[in-house]
Amino acid sequence: MKFQRITAIARKEFLQIRRDPRSLGLGIAIPMLLLFLFGYALTLDVDRVPLAVWDQSTTPVSREFVSRFTGSRYFSLKLVADSYPDIERAIDSRNVLIALIIPPDFTRRVQAGRDAPVQVILDGSDSTTATLTSAYAETVAQGFNRDILLRETGRMGLSPPAAALEIRPRVWYNADLLSRNAIVPGLIAIIMMVIAALLTSLTVAREWETGTMEQVIATPLTPAELVVGKLIPYITIGMFDLALAVLSGRFIFDVPLRGSLLLLFTVSIIFLVGALSFGMLLGIITRSQFMASQLALVTTMLPAFLLSGFIFPIENMPYPIQVVTHLVTARYLVTMLRGIYLKEADLEILAGNILLLVIFGLLVVTLSIRKFRKKIE
């Protein structure tokens, strides 16, 4: 390979990108749009769940119990109901997701030290929210029950029973359990994977369709020089996108970056080489923008969203699917970016994932060079 030829191809690609607003839009505007769209819209936090209450007791004790829910950041009182039909209509229209029904004899049972059942109705059409909301409601009820027990034993002059077991949870790396702290780093990886594959696949396929690739074939360029020369401009665009995403994550989404910025950019460059080369391989094979874009979406976007651990934990997937996830390179970048962002992971910890990305990048670059033939078929 000759450096002069590589720089000539790279310069040609830079000029082509500058003259083509669609390429600039695809390479810069769309990643930022996706980052802001998913960064604000995609959240796994369950806060301020709409709550309906039917208090048939209407006593100070029942009102105190209700206040435990309304005073929590997890619930927001939306309806004071008078009957089951009111609750049914509210849940059917999704104005509320949880309903609390307190029986008439609630206070009498509590003060007598007997079981005081309280009915909780959940909207199970959203199973994830219903599961979390049920856990929140149980926690609130347990806290109320504990306080009542302490109050009653104190009134009778008895010592409160000692707890046989006390759990003191301590959350590392994301103490507030904010989903955006995990979503934004993972989202950066997903966007880079999808956009990188689309960029080069469409560019190479467009050159075959427009006939400009025939002019390139007529030059003394080798396939290796052509592939490397085309990669350079898009790696530059990818690094620019990454810088914007890191700045947005830090100053707009307030996601902490605890690890090394240099390591973050290093692993991202390695990943970009493989993703861009994979897109180029698709463009070389298909020679059609339509086919290249469809294959790029099917082979990058869907696996990246579903099988990378970005949204769905890989550990919860069936074992055969867990095996398949090892073929999704976005999995390794999602893991590394989250490690760098939240755990201050260093090179020693990330070495295994980096090695896999290096192997993938070399493999795809080699395939792209071998598949590119300097002849018109």
Residuewise pLDDT in 10s, the chain (377 residues): 777 888 888 888 888 777 777 767 767 777 888 888 877 777 767 788 999 999 999 999 999 999 999 988 889 999 999 999 999 999 999 899 999 999 999 988 888 778 888 999 999 888 878 888 998 899 888 888 888 777 766 666 666 565 556 677 788 888 877 888 888 898 888 888 878 887 788 888 888 777 777 777 777 778 888 888 888 888 888 898 899 889 988 888 888 899 999 999 999 999 999 998 998 888 888 888 888 888 888 888 888 888 998 888 898 889 999 999 999 999 999 999 999 999 999 999 999 999 999 999 999 999 988 887 655 45
49-155 belongs to CATH 3.30.70.141: no
Residue 99 Cα distances to 56, 72, 94, 137, angstroms: 13, 15, 11, 10
**Other Cβ atoms closer than 10 A to 126:** 14
- Determine the pLDDT at residue 321: 92
Dihedral-angle region of residue 126 (phi above 0 means left; psi in -120 to 50 means alpha; beta otherwise):
beta
Report how far residue 197's alpha carbon sits from residue 155's, in angstroms, rounded to the nearest whole number.
70
pLDDT for residue 340: 94
Query: pTM for this structure?
Result: 0.79
Using the Cα atoms of residue 322, residue 324, residue 329 and residue 330 in order, give the sign of their dihedral. Answer: negative
Tokens of 349: 């910890």
pLDDT at 78: 93
The domain locations on the chain are 3-43+178-371, 49-155
Digit-coded pLDDT (tens) for 248-258: 888 888 888 99
Buried b / exposed e over 338-359, threshold 16 CB at 10 Å, is bbbbbeebeeeebeebbebbee
The whole-number pLDDT of residue 196 equals 81
Give residue-wise pLDDT tens across range 198-214: 778 888 888 877 777 77
- Is the separation of the CB atoms in 356 and 267 below 8 Å? no
Owner of token pair 């409601």 = 137
Report the alpha-carbon distance of residue 309 to residue 316 in Å, rounded.
10
pLDDT at res. 377? 52
Please give the backbone phi and psi of residue 105, each rounded to the nearest 5 degrees, phi first: -95, 20
